[in-house]
């Protein structure tokens, strides 16, 4: 017998090695705590990127206005320092707690949205009235906790009806879920916030999709969404300018299209690897709202295509983890809530990034976990804490966590008498 030529054997060994590596990666994805660690890892990496880019995008303007380049960074770091412990505590709560808290969160959010419309309390910016002012520069955007309230309330409502086998009638799918969603949408619409209105509707559709609503119901709701969006666009001149600017990007370059033009220029100027952290031009007042709505453009300018792909990859992994949790948990409430939270965060990211790269009109929605702002950051971190709590209830997750032992944060809570019982 003669040995096979080396040139013929090498490709076979290479293919076998690639198959072994692929099998190793797939085995990692099949582990019980995969979703848990993906949510934690993606969240922390996006927060770190966000803090870095908030500093880079705001340093020049803040130095000019306040005398310190670190003003917005310090505020954002404070909100992160508040939000992360809240996320950790939320992850340790039993599922029943979320079902109990869903109703007061929903009621408080509706009350906050109503108070925004009261003259003297509501603060306007960018054509929308979104914030409650408490003096001393402290503001709250009630529409952000309203998203969390709608997810938990809607999930609990549909889970109860599914347990009672009431969802065979399409009316039970909509009542009282549709009136509750409609009330939030109405209050948000009165504040002229089209972007949040669309996200609320997406959460509503996600809940209906998970519960198995018929196609005709989706078509009807989508028609209603399109009608309301059209009304909101027509009645507000600044939205019409944004829409016409999106349709005709070469028109009005110093007016309606200025922000989008500058954003795409900054994004494109980054090349493959960017101009370097702190080396971008956007911070020199060339790009409006570079630390909030258009932070993705600043990131692309300074970190290049590689940086933007990392952000897209992190949101993609977060979407995978959230939907994996929804698929693996057995409880209908957890399945509904996990899907709603995942769709909320990911769709908001898609809408923000889509506006920056000019495939969607500008809506003023921030990039979750990355853009500056505590009103959006803290509810998002709490929602991700809910996802972590659900991830612990995937098959085999409890045993894996018990074998690993409590983490340092859990031990501190236990010493303080605040740990789970």
CA distances from 120 to 110, 137, 153, 296 (A): 18, 14, 30, 33
pTM of the model: 0.87
Burial (CB count within 10 angstroms: exposed 0-12, middle 13-18, buried 19+), residue 320: middle
Taking the C-alpha atoms of residue 66 and residue 255, their distance in angstroms, rounded to an integer, is 28
**pLDDT of the chain, 421 residues: tens digit per residue:** 455 555 545 556 676 666 666 555 555 667 778 899 999 999 999 999 999 999 999 988 888 888 888 899 999 999 999 999 999 999 999 999 999 999 999 999 999 888 888 877 767 665 566 777 766 667 778 888 999 999 999 999 999 988 888 877 777 778 888 889 989 988 888 777 778 888 998 999 999 888 887 888 778 877 877 787 777 777 766 667 667 766 766 666 666 677 888 888 888 888 898 898 888 888 887 888 888 889 999 999 999 999 999 999 999 999 999 999 999 998 999 999 999 999 999 999 999 999 899 888 888 889 999 999 888 999 999 999 999 999 998 887 777 777 766 655 555 555 545 444 4
Identify the residue whose tokens are 């995008």.
Answer: 57
Partners of 128 in the beta sheet? 125
Identify the residue whose tokens are 């086998």.
Answer: 165
120 C-beta neighbours (distance < 10 Å), count:
6
Taking the C-alpha atoms of residue 39 and residue 122, their distance in angstroms, rounded to an integer, is 34
List pLDDT tens digits, range 74-122. Answer: 999 999 999 999 999 999 999 999 999 999 999 999 998 888 888 777 6
Taking the C-alpha atoms of residue 191 and residue 128, their distance in angstroms, rounded to an integer, is 6
Partners of 131 in the beta sheet? 123
Identify the residue whose tokens are 């196609």.
Answer: 215
Q: Are 409 and 415 in contact (CB under 8 A)?
A: no
3-state secondary structure the chain: CCCCCHHHHHHHHHHHHHHHHHHHHHHHHCCCCHHHHHHHHHHHHHHHHHHHHHHHHHHHHHHHHHCCCCHHHHHHHHHHHHHHHHHHHHHCCCHHHHHHHHHHHHHHHHHHHHHHCCCCCEEEECCEEEEEECCCCCEECCHHHHHHHHHHHHHHHHHHHHHCCCCCCHHHHHCCHHHHHHHHHHHHHHCCCHHHHHHHHHHHHHHHHHHCCCHHHHHHHHHHHHHHHHHHHHHCHHHHHHHHHHHCCCCCCCCCCHHHHHHHHHHHHCCCCCCCCCCCCCCCCCCCCCCCCCHHHHHHHHHHHHHHHHHHHHHHHHHHHHHHHHHHCCCHHHHHHHHHHHHHHHHHHHHHHHHHCCCCCCCCCCCCCCCCCHHHHHHHHHHHHHHHHHHCCCCCHHHHHHHHCCCHHHHHHHHCCCCCC
Instruction: Name, in order, each residue with C-beta under 8 angstroms of 348's C-beta and a sequence gap of 6 or more.
Output: 199, 365, 366, 367, 368
Taking the C-alpha atoms of residue 260 and residue 359, their distance in angstroms, rounded to an integer, is 11
């Amino acid at each position: 017998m003669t040995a096979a030529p080396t040139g013929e054997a090498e490709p076979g060994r290479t293919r076998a090695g690639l198959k072994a590596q692929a099998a190793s990666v797939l085995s990692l994805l099949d582990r019980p705590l995969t979703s848990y660690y993906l949510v934690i890892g993606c969240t922390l990496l996006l927060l770190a990127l966000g803090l870095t880019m908030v500093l880079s995008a705001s340093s020049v303007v803040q130095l000019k206005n306040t005398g310190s380049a670190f003003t917005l960074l310090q505020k954002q770091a404070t909100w992160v320092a508040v939000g992360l412990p809240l996320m950790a505590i939320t992850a340790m709560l039993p599922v029943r707690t979320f079902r109990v808290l869903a109703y007061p969160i929903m009621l408080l959010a509706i009350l906050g949205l109503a108070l925004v419309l009261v003259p003297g309390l509501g603060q306007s910016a960018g054509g929308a009235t979104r914030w409650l002012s408490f003096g001393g520069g402290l503001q709250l955007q009630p529409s952000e906790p309203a998203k969390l309230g709608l997810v938990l309330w809607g999930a609990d409502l549909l889970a109860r009806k599914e347990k009672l086998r009431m969802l065979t009638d399409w009316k039970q799918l909509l009542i009282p879920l549709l009136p509750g969603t409609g009330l939030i949408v109405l209050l948000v619409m009165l504040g002229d916030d089209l972007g949040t209105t669309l996200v609320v509707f997406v959460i509503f559709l996600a809940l209906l999709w998970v519960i198995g609503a018929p196609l005709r119901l989706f078509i009807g709701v989508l028609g209603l969404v399109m009608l309301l969006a059209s009304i909101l666009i027509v009645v507000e001149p600044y939205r019409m300018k944004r829409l016409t600017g999106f349709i005709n990007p070469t028109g009005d370059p110093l007016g309606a299209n200025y922000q989008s033009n500058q954003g795409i220029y900054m994004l494109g100027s980054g090349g493959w690897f960017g101009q370097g952290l702190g080396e971008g031009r956007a911070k020199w007042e060339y790009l409006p709202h570079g630390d909030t709505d258009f932070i993705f453009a600043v990131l692309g300018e300074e970190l290049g295509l590689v940086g933007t792909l990392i952000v897209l990859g992190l949101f993609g992994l977060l979407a995978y983890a959230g939907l994996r949790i929804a698929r693996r948990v057995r409880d209908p409430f957890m399945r509904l809530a996990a899907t709603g939270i995942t769709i909320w965060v990911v769709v908001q990211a898609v809408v923000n990034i889509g506006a920056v790269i000019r495939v969607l009109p500008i809506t003023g929605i921030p990039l979750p976990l990355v853009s500056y702002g505590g009103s959006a950051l803290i509810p998002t971190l709490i929602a991700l804490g809910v996802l972590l709590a659900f991830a612990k209830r995937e098959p085999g997750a409890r045993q894996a966590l018990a074998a690993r032992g409590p983490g340092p944060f859990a031990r501190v809570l236990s010493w303080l008498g605040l740990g789970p019982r």
